[in-house]
Structure 1
Amino acid sequence: MAVLLLAYAAAAQDCTLVDVTGQTIACTLIGRHETTDLSKCARKCYDKKECVFCDIKAGEVQPCVLYKPGGNERLIQSGYEIQRQASPKCRKMMLPE
């Protein structure tokens, strides 16, 4: 029974957001969207293959910002890293607390 429960939990956890606030990461801006909802912003990032980081910038016209790693356009010091699993769809997203 425990093995089945563990297998189900692993299968349902298709992607995870990891808070990278405080870390300095070289990245390149690849898109912006109007949503202020973190889960919707993360979905936009997840749907772009090159996107690895997203953040909500309060007070901006398009507060959801998407980044790909590398480059020197921006140094992200707050935001979230998208960790994809083997599953092609992100049916369930684990958000940081």
Structure 2
Amino acid sequence: MDVHMAVLLLAYAAAAQDCTLVDVTGQTIACTLIGRHETTDLSKCARKCYDKKECVFCDIKAGEVQPCVLYKPGGNERLIQSGYEIQRQASPKCRKMMLPE
């Protein structure tokens, strides 16, 4: 294998482990609350969500004791109108979190 091929292979492997947060503010989504955490850091909150297989949405609710909230889709427990959707890529682990700009 030549150097160029090795570099391309490594770049592909690294890209496959990215995950992205998509801002879903303004959308009304039926979901079920599945967890809360004390962090106010969006990337840490997203990591908590990513690590729970059923979690798809997360948000930071300012002023709450446990501001990081995690949701799974479906259910009639609540509707979220702000937050972020976790988009998982091919890899089961997310090494680099792509936050919305």
Structure-2-length-normalised TM-score: 0.86
Structure 1: gaps of 5 or more residues: none
Q: CA contact under 8 A between 1:55 and 1:78: conserved in structure 2?
A: yes
Q: CA contact under 8 A between 2:17 and 2:91: conserved in structure 1?
A: no
1:9 Cα deviation from its structure 2 partner: 8.6
**Which secondary structure does the structure 2 equivalent of 1:93 belong to?**
strand
Q: CA contact under 8 A between 1:54 and 1:79: conserved in structure 2?
A: yes
Structure 2: gaps of 5 or more residues: none
Q: Deviations over 1:10-41 (max 9, x none)?
A: 72652100000000000000000000000000
Q: CA contact under 8 A between 2:16 and 2:89: conserved in structure 1?
A: no
1:4 Cα deviation from its structure 2 partner: 3.3
Q: Deviations over 1:30-59 (max 9, x none)?
A: 000000000000000000000000000000
Structure-1-length-normalised TM-score: 0.89
Q: Distance in 2 between matches of 1:95 and 1:42?
A: 9
Q: Distance in 2 between matches of 1:2 and 1:88?
A: 22
Mean Cα deviation higher: 84-93 or 52-61: 84-93
The number of equivalent residue pairs is: 97
Q: CA contact under 8 A between 2:21 and 2:84: conserved in structure 1?
A: yes
Mean Cα deviation higher: 23-32 or 12-21: 12-21
**Which secondary structure does the structure 1 equivalent of 2:31 belong to?**
strand
The alignment-based identity, stated in percent, is 100
Q: Distance in 2 between matches of 1:35 and 1:6?
A: 33
After superposition, the CA RMSD in angstroms is 2.3
Q: Distance in 2 between matches of 1:2 and 1:19?
A: 35
Runs of 4+ in 1 over 2 A off after TM superposition: 1-10
| Cα distance change of structure 1 residues 85 and 55 upon mapping to structure 2, 3 Å threshold | same
Considering only CA atoms, is the larger Rg found in Structure 1 or Structure 2? 2
